[in-house]
């Protein structure tokens, strides 16, 4: 489903260049639960931006679902981001003046889903993350763990096949971290491809496959159990 060949991302080419990705070769199978781990500055977010078609590499190849990403138009890329991938970020990125339902509905507006169906999908997604009693709450009326569950609901409401999470538990306590992990594992069990980017070894140990990156290169790639 994901095929990456000799991908490089070089910021500020020249004397002070940063090789954020320095020759990544990577294949990810449909339906896998993968952790990409590495220390701060190792290139994790840069790789996530590439995987999510949010940025373009300096060189190398990215084939997603049999399609060469470099050959896609801006519209096609927007479509992939909107329909194929659900994004979860460390900082929740919720809209403060919208309640939980409103936040989860928002990306569905851009997909042209009708108002009724939007509400239906949003409520279904919020239920699936255990927030049926927080539908009308605004972000500042919820705990960090609950806010991240809203963000997960927003990512999955349209049922994208791929979930990309960049440090999804980075701002959470231990209990909320495990709650989010259980939700991500459930999404994996339901057939999604789940890619979690993290610096947390405990989280990585819960993935089926661990890809360790260091200085923009894959240092280690192994399966748990």
Ligand X SMILES: Nc1ncnc2c1ncn2[C@@H]1O[C@H](COP(=O)(O)OP(=O)(O)O)[C@@H](O)[C@H]1O
Binding residues vs Mg ion (CB under 5 A): 44-45
48/153 with CB nearer ligand X: 48
**4, 24, 44, 153: which one contacts ligand X (CB under 6 A)?**
44
CA–CA distance from 6 to each of 27, 57, 106, 204 (Å)? 11, 10, 36, 24
Residue number, 44 or 149, with CB nearest to Mg ion: 44
Cβ closest to ligand X, residue 19 vs residue 209: 19
Among 22, 38, 113, 188, binds ligand X (CB under 6 A): 38
Q: Note the residue count of the chain.
A: 225
Does position 146 interact with ligand X (CB under 6 A)? The reply is no
Q: Nearer to ligand X by C-beta: 19 or 159? A: 19
What DSSP character marks residue 222? Answer: E
Cα–Cα distance between 63 and 27 in angstroms, integer? 10
- Residues within window 10-29 making contact with ligand X, judged by CB under 6 A: 11-12, 18, 20
Site membership for ligand X, residue 46 (CB under 6 A): yes
**Minimum distance, C-beta of residue 196 to ligand X, in the bound complex (Å):** 13
| Residue 138 contact, options Mg ion, ligand X, none, Cβ 5-8 Å cut-off depending on partner type | none
**Parallel, antiparallel or unpaired: strands 209-214 and 59-64:** unpaired
Among 16, 40, 71, 114, binds ligand X (CB under 6 A): 40
Residue 10: strand, helix, or coil: strand
The count of chain residues that interact with ligand X, using the rule CB under 6 A, is 12
> Around Cβ 122, how many Cβ atoms within 10 Å?
26
* SS3 assignment, position 223: strand
Residues that bind ligand X (CB under 6 A): 11-12, 18, 20, 38, 40-46
């Amino acid at each position: 489903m994901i095929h990456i060949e000799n991908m490089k991302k070089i910021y500020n080419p020249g004397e002070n260049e940063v090789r954020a990705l320095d020759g990544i070769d990577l294949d990810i199978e449909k339906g896998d639960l993968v952790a990409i781990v590495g220390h701060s500055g190792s290139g994790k977010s840069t790789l996530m931006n590439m995987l999510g078609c949010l940025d373009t590499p300096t060189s190398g190849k990215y084939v997603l679902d049999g399609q060469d990403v470099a050959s896609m138009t801006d519209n096609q890329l927007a479509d992939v981001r909107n329909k194929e991938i659900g994004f979860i970020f460390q900082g929740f990125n919720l809209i403060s003046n919208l309640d939980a339902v409103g936040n989860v509905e928002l990306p569905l507006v851009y997909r042209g889903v009708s108002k009724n169906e939007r509400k239906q999908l949003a409520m279904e997604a919020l239920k699936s993350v255990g927030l049926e009693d927080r539908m009308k709450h605004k972000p500042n009326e919820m705990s960090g763990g609950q806010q991240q569950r809203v963000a997960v609901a927003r990512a999955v409401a349209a049922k994208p096949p791929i979930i990309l999470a960049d440090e999804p538990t980075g701002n959470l306590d231990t209990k909320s971290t495990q709650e989010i992990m259980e939700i991500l594992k459930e999404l994996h069990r339901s057939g999604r491809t789940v890619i979690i980017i993290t610096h947390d070894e405990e989280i990585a140990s819960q993935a089926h496959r661990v890809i360790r990156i260091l200085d923009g290169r894959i240092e280690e790639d192994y399966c748990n159990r």
